[in-house]
Amino acid sequence: MPDLDETSITSAVLARVQAAANPRVRQVSEALVRHLHAFIREVTPTEAEWEWGIRFLTEVGHMCTESRQEFILLSDTLGVSMLVDAINHRFPGGATQTTVLGPFYIPPPVFPNGADIRGNMRGSPMFVSGTVTGVGAEPLSGATVDVWHSDSEGLYDLQKRQQDSGVCGRGRLQTDRHGRFQFWTARPAAYPIPHDGPVGMMLEAQGRHPYRPEHIHFLISAPGHRKLVTHIFAAGDVYLDSDVVFGVKDSLIHEYVRHSGKTAPDGRVVQGQWYSLHHDFRLAADGPAGG
């Protein structure tokens, strides 16, 4: 056993991982060791600071439940989720841009096109419509469109289970033969990510707010095409330039149009204030990242 010190320990660990039979395991392990050791050399933590870091990660794990994934929040708020997303979705020009899935997705209930998915969610009525096509604008009939969003207080149904709110503000639809879909819901709101745990403590220490701009999530899939995970953000939101998870892209910002007392596109007469959003989604064809 050599007399290891701070100059030789890294090469010794790298030599050990050469025994990995799987080339990918070996590659990932080598990179992890190199970058982790470089991080330690750069910040030169005290033993107490290193113990604090281990305790922080332990607390992140303890905060994870069926309806809350603190490690996803940590990945999101450090920009890692968006970096992984960007690496894996180098789509050709014309395809709708992607963004993070977020921690609040579950397979939603199925609704017919044009249905009201709000359940008992409160807020101004909102009519959402769009089309799903390939990058050549050919309609994709029978595409699956999953949607989910917060309520007017910035809370998802998963966060309100203790209040018996049930499933609301989320649904699964299929496009018609022209690639169209539409549904009614309640307008969401900007909201803070859960920040009563270790990730919130980290944000406070970094001098950052925990807010996401107002948005609706979409997960769209169709045979022969790459799955699309994206949001449509409300134009004018004050948090567009400081989204805590770095998920905003210019092409995903769209006006939530305000109306008052008129007939909606589906023929429904709406009294009082309501909103509409229309967006056309283009899916990249199946193939490796990069198109």
Residues 15 and 152 occupy one common structural domain: no
Question: Does residue 39 sit in the same domain as residue 134?
Answer: no
Looking at the fold, whether 40 and 142 belong to one and the same domain comes out as no
Locate tokens 């929040």: which residue? Answer: 73
Rounded distance between C-alpha atoms, residue 258 and residue 276, angstroms: 7
179 closest CA partner among 142, 124, 206:
142
118 within some domain: yes
| Cα(155)–Cα(186) distance, integer angstroms | 12
Angle between helices 198-205 and 47-62 in degrees, nearest 10: 130
Q: What is the pLDDT of residue 288?
A: 60
Q: How many whole angstroms separate alpha carbon 98 and alpha carbon 219?
A: 10
Does residue 85 share a domain with residue 39? no
Task: Assign 3-class secondary structure to 3-50.
Answer: CCCCCCHHHHHHHHHHHCCCHHHHHHHHHHHHHHHHHHHHHCCCHHHH
For residue 55, is it within any domain? no
In CATH, what number is assigned to the domain containing residue 265? 2.60.130.10
Residue 214 in contact with residue 188, Cβ under 8 Å? yes
Residue 62 maps to a domain = no
Residues 6+ apart with CB under 8 A from 121: 151, 152, 157, 165, 168, 169, 185, 186
- The number of domains in the chain is 2
Predicted pLDDT of residue 227? 95
Q: Can you give the pTM of this predicted structure? A: 0.90
The verdict on 27 and 156 lying in the same domain is no
Whether residue 139 sits in one domain with residue 20? no
Write the burial class of residue 233 (CB in 10 Å: 0-12 exposed, 13-18 middle, 19+ buried): buried
Please report whether residue 64 resides in a domain: no
Confidence (pLDDT) at 291 = 40
- For residue 208, the enclosing domain spans 70-283
3-state secondary structure of 222: coil
Residue at 229 is within a domain = yes
Residue 140 domain-assigned (yes or no): yes
Q: How far is CA 99 from CA 78, 182, 241, in A?
A: 14, 22, 15
Regarding whether 208 and 106 lie in a shared domain, the answer is yes
Within a domain: residue 116? yes
Q: What is the mean pLDDT of each run of 10 residues along the chain (291 residues)?
A: 86 96 98 98 98 98 89 95 94 91 90 95 95 96 98 88 74 98 97 95 98 98 97 98 98 97 90 96 80 40
Specify whether 26 is located in the same domain as 126. Answer: no
State whether 4 and 124 are in the same domain. no
The answer to the question of residue 60 being in a domain is no
Same domain, 94 and 26: no
- CB 211 within 8 Å of CB 242: yes
Q: Is 84 in the same domain as 39?
A: no
**What distance in Å separates the CA atoms of residue 43 and residue 25, rounded to the nearest whole number?**
27
Instruction: Examine the domain organization and report whether 31 and 78 are in the same domain.
Output: no
